[in-house]
């Protein structure tokens, strides 16, 4: 948690697990691992810029029917301003049991959902703080947004 300063609200740190991000990428390099990961998450769920870009490159390779390998990922991202950081992440990949990719993908996805809900909550607080908006309008809007968020978190299921 951020420490409050005078006239400033505390801002919670968004939840993330860069090690889980990297573990998903590592596990996705094993046969069947990428399919396991994409059944749970997408590139936008990663908490790090490097993780998002690496997984997006993997998704692109898979869409075009090309094999997913470190060298092809590096080639796809060559020229990206974050390339040195991405290469460091790719160089740190170590083998582990590919079955663990499901566990790590679930962690990454759950943290992504928490970040999305925290952003929605922050938006709700800002909207409620706006005294120029009639309270009836603000609460109706917030209830609609909360319902949509719950449906999203439940994978499209209401309730």
- Higher pLDDT among residues 41 and 151, named by residue: 41
Percent of the chain's residues with pLDDT above 70:
83
Q: Please determine, for residue 7, whether its predicted confidence score (pLDDT) is greater than 50.
A: no
pLDDT tens digits, one per residue of 33-58: 899 999 999 999 998 888 899 999 99
Which of 26-40, 41-55, 103-117, 142-156 shows the lowest mean pLDDT across its residues?
142-156
What domains, with CATH codes, occur in the chain? 18-153 (1.10.860.10)
What average pLDDT does the chain have? 80
Nearest 10 degrees: CA dihedral of 110, 113, 114, 120? Answer: -170
Q: Where are the alpha helices (DSSP H) in 43-134?
A: 49-63, 70-77, 83-91, 100-129
Name the DSSP class of 48.
Answer: S
Give me the sign of the Cα torsion angle 62, 64, 65, 66. negative
Contacts for 59 with CB less than 8 Å, ≥ 6 apart: 38, 42, 43
pTM, two decimals, is 0.65
Q: Which has the higher per-residue pLDDT, 103 or 11?
A: 103
Report CA-CA distances (Å) from 1 to 10, 15, 77, 80, 149. 7, 11, 34, 32, 24
pLDDT tens, position by position, 54-96: 999 999 999 999 988 888 888 898 888 888 877 777 777 665 5
Inform me whether the pLDDT recorded for 128 exceeds 90.
no
For residue 26 the two structure tokens come to 């590592």
State the pLDDT at residue 99.
66
Q: How many residues does the chain have?
A: 159
Q: How confident is the model at residue 125 (pLDDT cuts 50, 70, 90)?
A: confident
């Amino acid at each position: 948690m951020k420490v409050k300063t005078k006239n400033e609200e505390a801002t919670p740190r968004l939840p993330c697990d860069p090690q889980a991000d990297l573990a998903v990428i590592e596990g996705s390099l094993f046969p069947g691992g990428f399919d396991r990961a994409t059944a749970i998450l997408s590139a936008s769920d990663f908490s790090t810029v490097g993780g998002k870009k690496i997984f997006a490159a993997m998704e692109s390779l898979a869409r075009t029917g090309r094999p997913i390998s470190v060298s092809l990922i590096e080639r796809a991202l060559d020229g990206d301003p974050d390339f040195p950081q991405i290469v460091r992440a790719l160089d740190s990949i170590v083998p582990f049991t590919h079955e663990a990719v499901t566990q790590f993908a679930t962690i990454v996805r759950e943290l992504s959902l928490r970040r999305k809900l925290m952003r929605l909550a922050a938006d709700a607080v800002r909207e409620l703080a706006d005294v120029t908006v009639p309270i009836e309008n603000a609460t109706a809007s917030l209830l609609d947004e909360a319902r949509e968020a719950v449906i999203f978190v439940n994978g499209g299921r209401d309730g």
